[in-house]
Chains A and B, each alone.
With several copies, the nearest count.
Chain A
Amino acid sequence: MIDKVVDNAATAIKDIHENAVLMLGGFGLCGIPENSIQALLKQGTKGLTCISNNAGVDDFGIGLLLKTRQVKKMISSYVGENAEFERQLLAGELEVDLLPQGTLAERIRAGGAGIPAFYTPAGYGTEVAEGKETREFNGKMHLLESWLLADYSLVKAWKGDTEGNLIYKGTARNFNPMMAAAGKITIAEVEELVPAGELDPNTIHTPGIYVQRIFQGKAYEKRIEQRTVSSPS
């Protein structure tokens, strides 16, 4: 039996090479692959293209890899919380592709699902449409958008089993399931790794077929960007 379980993040990401195209799950800092990012930081691999909805903050998430100049290009929908990002962008040190969030999600989903291209109305008539084919369906204009694929997808789940099945928690699901399917090699880190058979097959969000490596993560910080609370009334 081929074992998908690896010891830790360092082993899991060891073969990620310079100039690799990565997908990293998460929305803001919610549901990001903290352990894999830390391991990439330690490994120092450079020239990375990172497909991720956001770019982290200055001292957490993908922001850490920006600081060490390991990122060549970001493909994101919103990158607003990061001063170092802004500096590199304005200095021309970083390439950035900004996409509508739904288009980003659907292009990744298409990559995993073997759909090379599809039509969406999002972005028609805007800068996003520049150079793209357009077409009318049912009286409405649409853009042709292509799939996105990655050499490696780094995803974070709540629970996982040794077959690679994953369950996410709350809004930490976000981009993780589509990215898991769109990576040639998908590396999943989980808060709790259980033997095959312990997860209810009916509640699995990412079937194990999409996951090539899995490890139990540790020391999750789960930083909160906007801690908003109700005052007791």
Chain B
Amino acid sequence: MLDKIGIAKRIAKEIKDGSYINLGIGIPTLVANYIPEKINVVLQSENGLLGIGPFPSEEQVDADLINAGKQTVSMTPGSALFSSAESFAMIRGGHVDLTILGAMEVSENGDLANWKIPGKMVKGMGGAMDLVASADNIIVAMQHTSRSGDSKLLKKCSLPITGLSCVKKIVTNMAVLDILPTGGFQLLERAPGVSVDDIKAATQGKLHVPDNVPEMTF
């Protein structure tokens, strides 16, 4: 089983040199810490910044420079600032190469639910619906099951949808899986100490299991 950092580390391996990436709040934000040094990427913040740098020092903290999670940040050399309309023009126009975000549920045809739980206070979708409707390449970071052991990789999402058929790849605490273009979860890798049977038991949606399912390496 992976912890949150493990999930972030595994996702970091998917990142290609020269990419522009939007990282959601939570585990996705952690991914930035594990991108190999030889790889150069530019992080996009939907509130209007390309080139998110590390958290600032105490002296550098600037209330006018935050990320989409409202955390104070710094800027990398070569960064650019812009409006929210321009930011979502970038996103909607397909200029961001990779979007990494969290999920509550994913269905076997790639539907994503991550914004609303009926009966609970609705905080809003923020930029998630724009991101998932627009990005060509979406990787989801999530727990494979709920605390009570119910699968979150489903035939059909039970929660309100954020976007249809948008997820390409999923990294959970148990496995790495692709969504097949024809539907279904294609199992690619097992987390250390997790068996194929564990994954089968934890996956409600249609799971394609190849003969050989390697353990993740980092």
Mark A residues whose CB is within 8 Å of B: 1-2, 27-31, 53, 76-80, 86, 89-90, 98-103, 105-106, 108-109, 111-115, 120-128, 158, 161-163, 165, 169-178, 181, 195-197, 199, 201-202, 204-205, 207-210, 222-230, 232
- Chain B 83-95, CB within 8 Å of chain A: the 1/0 string? 1111111111111
Contact of A30 among B20, B66, B75, B77 (CB under 8 A): B66
A2 and B161 CA atoms in complex are apart in Å by 36
Q: Is B197 an interface residue (CB 8 A)?
A: no
CB distance from B28 to the nearest CB of A (A): 16
A201 contacts B73, CB within 8 Å? no
A201 contacts B133, CB within 8 Å? no
CB distance from B81 to the nearest CB of A (A): 5
Residue of B77, B87, B125 with most chain A CB atoms under a 10 A cut-off: B125
| A contacts with B: majority SS | loop
Given the known interface contacts A108-B85, A222-B63, the answer about A123 and B129 at a Cβ–Cβ threshold of 8 Å is yes
A121 contacts B88, CB within 8 Å? no
Q: Is B123 an interface residue (CB 8 A)?
A: yes
B94 contacts A114, CB within 8 Å? yes
CB distance from B51 to the nearest CB of A (A): 7
CB distance from B159 to the nearest CB of A (A): 11
Given the known interface contacts A27-B47, A102-B92, A114-B92, the answer about A174 and B84 at a Cβ–Cβ threshold of 8 Å is yes
Query: Which chain A residues lie closer than 8 Å to B123 at the CB level?
Result: 78-80
A67 and B40 CA atoms in complex are apart in Å by 44
Query: Which chain B residues lie closer than 8 Å to A227 at the CB level?
Result: 61, 71-72
Closest chain B residue to A194, Cβ basis = B78
Q: How many A-B residue pairs have CB under 8 A?
A: 241
A30 contacts B18, CB within 8 Å? no
A110 and B206 CA atoms in complex are apart in Å by 39
Given the known interface contacts A161-B78, A229-B61, the answer about A30 and B70 at a Cβ–Cβ threshold of 8 Å is yes
23 contacts between A and B (CB under 8 A): A79-B124, A86-B121, A98-B122, A99-B125, A105-B85, A106-B89, A106-B92, A112-B95, A114-B93, A115-B92, A124-B133, A170-B64, A172-B64, A178-B83, A181-B93, A197-B78, A201-B79, A209-B90, A224-B61, A224-B66, A229-B57, A229-B58, A229-B61
Contact of A122 among B55, B96, B130 (CB under 8 A): B130
Query: Which chain A residues lie closer than 8 Å to B85 at the CB level?
Result: 105-106, 108-109, 177-178
A102 and B91 CA atoms in complex are apart in Å by 8
B81 contacts A126, CB within 8 Å? no
A181 and B50 CA atoms in complex are apart in Å by 15
Residue of A31, A171, A173, A230 with most chain B CB atoms under a 10 A cut-off: A171
A176 and B48 CA atoms in complex are apart in Å by 11
Q: Is B26 an interface residue (CB 8 A)?
A: no
CB distance from B29 to the nearest CB of A (A): 10
Q: Is B198 an interface residue (CB 8 A)?
A: no
Query: Which chain B residues lie closer than 8 Å to A112 at the CB level?
Result: 89, 93, 95
Closest chain A residue to B20, Cβ basis = A209
Given the known interface contacts A27-B84, A177-B85, the answer about A210 and B95 at a Cβ–Cβ threshold of 8 Å is yes
- Chain B 19-47, CB within 8 Å of chain A: the 1/0 string? 01000000000000000000010101111
